[in-house]
């Protein structure tokens, strides 16, 4: 089977959109690259992505080609436009003639600005990952596509939707990856803290020739009275910089009232 250059480019672009499990991920640069690929494969003038939460744009990114125009057209949609409409319905907005939309008072602010930038037509598709809507991808073209069949099944709309789906999946995967790294770091920090406390408790018990419970009680009481994190006090004991006299007094005060457990 022979594949066209365009099909190979599309496959490479979709693979690129999936590559988000990296530490130095930048969402704006990522969406700019997705928009660049749309422009190259859909012969559009420019394209952009609007991330939306609660019907309000929270972030915008545009192709490096005519980026100023794309960002201006995305910003013009605060009162209505193809991005908000696609996001609101969860469905594509098929190719629309800017002049026809403007004459029918559909998105008046947006269409007026699009005419000013010599944009002839536009369409938008939702960024969605399963049931989660993240925003919309908007494509701006210099001529109204003569597609058959029209509407949601237009080839350019289907390709744009594939890009948007890949981008939404990439964004969601990175969010999951980022949360996993954060949780892993928190668990590691908690484990390291527990190890330091156990080590300090053992050092004090051996030094004072007392039980581990009494040593831990002294650590805990000392930290509470001075409003210090227990881990910080334990680290000072391990590092040899702790207030040994203060800790010992706490231990002696617990001789007649030993603590009931360990952390």
Verify that 246 and 156 share a domain, yes or no: no
Number of other CB atoms surrounding residue 251 within 10 Å: 21
Mean pLDDT of 113-119: 95
Verify that 129 and 217 share a domain, yes or no: no
The strands making up 56-62's β-sheet, listed across from edge to edge, are: 56-62, 46-53, 132-141, 121-129, 93-97
State the total domains in the chain.
2
Mean pLDDT of 173-195: 76
9 domain-assigned: yes
Verify that 166 and 125 share a domain, yes or no: yes
26 domain-assigned: yes
Structural domain range at position 247? 210-253
The answer for residues whose C-beta is within 8 angstroms of residue 225's C-beta and 6 or more apart is 250
195 domain-assigned: no
Task: Compute the Cα dihedral for 20, 24, 28, 34 and give only its sign.
Answer: negative
Mean pLDDT of 240-246: 83
197 domain-assigned: no
Per-residue pLDDT reduced to its tens digit, 44-75: 999 999 998 877 888 999 999 999 999 999 99
pLDDT at residue 121, rounded to an integer: 94
Please tell me the total number of residues recorded for the chain in this structure: 263
Verify that 68 and 128 share a domain, yes or no: yes
134 domain-assigned: yes
DSSP 131: T
Per-residue pLDDT reduced to its tens digit, 22-49: 777 888 899 999 999 999 998 899 999 9
pTM of the model: 0.68
124 domain-assigned: yes
Given 155, 178, 201, the domain boundary residue is 178
Residue 53, beta-bridge partner list: 56
pLDDT at residue 219, rounded to an integer: 87
Instruction: Report the CATH number at residue 84.
Output: 3.30.450.80
201 domain-assigned: no
Verify that 46 and 158 share a domain, yes or no: yes
């Amino acid at each position: 089977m022979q594949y066209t250059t365009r099909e190979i480019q599309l496959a490479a672009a979709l693979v690129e959109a999936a590559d988000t499990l990296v530490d130095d991920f930048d969402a704006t640069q990522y969406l700019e690259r997705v928009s660049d690929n749309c422009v190259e494969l859909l012969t559009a003038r420019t394209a952009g992505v609007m991330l939306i939460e609660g019907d309000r744009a929270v972030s915008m990114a545009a192709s490096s080609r005519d980026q100023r125009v794309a960002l201006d057209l995305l910003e013009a949609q605060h009162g209505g436009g193809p991005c908000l409409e696609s996001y609101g319905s969860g469905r594509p907005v098929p190719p629309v003639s800017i002049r026809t939309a403007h004459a029918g008072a559909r998105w008046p602010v947006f269409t007026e600005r699009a005419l000013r930038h010599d944009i002839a037509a536009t369409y938008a598709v939702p960024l969605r990952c399963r049931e989660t809507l993240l925003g919309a991808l908007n494509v701006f073209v210099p001529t109204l596509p003569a597609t058959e069949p029209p509407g949601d099944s237009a080839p350019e709309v289907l390709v744009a939707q594939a890009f948007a789906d890949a981008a939404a999946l990439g964004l969601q995967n990175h969010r999951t990856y980022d949360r996993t790294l954060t949780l892993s770091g928190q668990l590691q920090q908690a484990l390291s803290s527990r190890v330091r406390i156990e080590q300090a408790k053992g050092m004090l018990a051996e030094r004072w020739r007392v039980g581990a419970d009494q040593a831990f009680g002294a650590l805990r009481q000392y930290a509470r009275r001075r409003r210090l994190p227990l881990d910080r006090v334990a680290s000072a004991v391990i590092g040899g910089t702790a207030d040994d006299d203060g800790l010992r007094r706490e231990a002696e005060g617990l001789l007649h009232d030993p603590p009931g457990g360990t952390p």
